[in-house]
Amino acid sequence: MPILYLLFVLMLSSASSISYCTEHDRNSLLRFLGGLSQDGGLAASWRDGKDYCSWEGITCSSSTASKAATVTDVLLASKKLKGSISPTLGSLPGLLRLNLSHNSLSGSLPSEIMSSGSIVVLDVLNISSNKFAAEFPSLGAVANLVALNGSNNSFTGMLPVAPLCRASPSLALLDLSHNRFTGEVSLALASYSMLKVPKAGRNNLSGILPFELFDMTSLEHLSFPNNGLEGELDGSHMAKLSNLVTLDLGGNCFHGKIPESIGQLNKLEKLSLYSNKMSGNLSPSLSNCTLLTTIDLKINSFSGDLGNVDFSALHNLKTLDLLANNFSGIIPESIYSCSNLTALRCVV
């Protein structure tokens, strides 16, 4: 009898726990819905009498006899949502992916989403293309964040790199482009040993890129266009980025020449240094980057003979833009060997 009684108590306890979790997740989602001034038709799907795991944009984990199904995904991109985000989303205990991109959500991003201890793991956070303003909140207790896309908003203040690093050392993609961030690029960015794609173009950043950033051999895309960054591209540092696919530093204030070590980046596909203050001859080593599809060097002070570069080795080249520089001589015949070339601006 005591054993049967114990089993009965455990069953009641388990049922109570499942009921609590179910009500908790449902109520959290309904509070989020209630905070919207325009719900994009979600109210028709998010009905009280319907299992919340079947609501539009919601995915749940599988339930078991002792564990309730919990919300793992809230994927509501491009739903024409307006209004503010309820902090209750931060209390979903099993949330893995949150995508609210391409809506018209406004106000500040609730710190509860970023710092709530109830969020065990948050893998992907996409809040891009909204109307969020104010400073970016600290990630706090969020762990193991792999991808964060906060682009196309109006976030202000310094880049939130240091707090991110402490919370999410496994971050691989960080996109904070098209905002209003100011100040220098933090040295803390170099602390991400797993970072592959840092993007912070079209902000108001200034200063130089930390040399330590070029020690990050994991980098595949380095994209900081249209800021106020300055300095020179150091050859010894550049050579370390052996996995780099995209180098996009256009629209800044960099000066000096393209280092000869650029030829060691044999995975490079896009080289974009337009609208800077760069000068000097183009290094013949550029022809070693045989995977290049785009070379955009317009509006600089590059000079010399283009024939120094063997363009015939660049079989994949599609775009070559050398407008508004100081090149001399004639257009080299090797350019005409680029059979995939679809865009050419080359005035010498």
Query: What is residue 16's three-state secondary structure?
Result: helix
With beta carbons less than 8 A apart as the criterion, state whether 184 and 159 touch: no
| 230 backbone dihedrals φ, ψ, rounded to 5° | -145, 180
Whether residue 226 sits in one domain with residue 178: no
Whether residue 162 sits in one domain with residue 243: no
Query: Is residue 324 situated within a structural domain?
Result: yes
State the Cα–Cα distance between residues 312 and 247, nearest whole angstrom. Answer: 22
Whether residue 56 sits in one domain with residue 172: yes
pTM of the model: 0.84
Q: In which residue are the tokens 């204030």 written?
A: 253
- Domain containing residue 268: CATH number: 3.80.10.10
What 8-state DSSP symbol labels residue 257?
-
Where among 205, 240, 262 does a domain terminate?
A: 205
pLDDT at 168: 66
Whether residue 241 sits in one domain with residue 191: no
Whether residue 228 sits in one domain with residue 199: no
Whether residue 231 sits in one domain with residue 192: no
pLDDT at 191: 81
Contact partners, residue 293, CB within 8 Å, separation at least 6: 269, 270, 316, 317, 318, 319, 340
Count the domains in the chain: 2
Domain boundaries, position 123: 20-205
Where among 170, 205, 240 does a domain terminate?
A: 205
Query: Is residue 116 situated within a structural domain?
Result: yes
pLDDT at 90: 81
With beta carbons less than 8 A apart as the criterion, state whether 92 and 71 touch: yes
With beta carbons less than 8 A apart as the criterion, state whether 154 and 130 touch: no
Which residue numbers in the chain have pLDDT < 50?
A: 1, 4-21, 66, 120
Whether residue 199 sits in one domain with residue 84: yes
Whether residue 261 sits in one domain with residue 121: no
Q: Which helix (H) or strand (E) holds 207?
A: strand 204-207
Whether residue 199 sits in one domain with residue 56: yes
With beta carbons less than 8 A apart as the criterion, state whether 347 and 323 touch: yes
Query: Is residue 294 situated within a structural domain?
Result: yes
Where among 205, 235, 266 does a domain terminate?
A: 205
Query: Is residue 3 situated within a structural domain?
Result: no
Query: Is residue 250 situated within a structural domain?
Result: yes
Query: Is residue 11 situated within a structural domain?
Result: no
Whether residue 300 sits in one domain with residue 179: no
Query: Is residue 8 situated within a structural domain?
Result: no
State the Cα–Cα distance between residues 257 and 276, nearest whole angstrom. Answer: 11
Beta bridge partners of 174: 148, 198
Q: Which helix (H) or strand (E) holds 312?
A: none
Single-letter amino acid, residue 256: G
pLDDT at 208: 96
Whether residue 319 sits in one domain with residue 170: no
Is 271 exposed, middle or buried, given 0-12, 13-18 or 19+ CB atoms closer than 10 A? buried
Whether residue 76 sits in one domain with residue 131: yes
Beta bridge partners of 270: 246, 294
Query: Is residue 7 situated within a structural domain?
Result: no
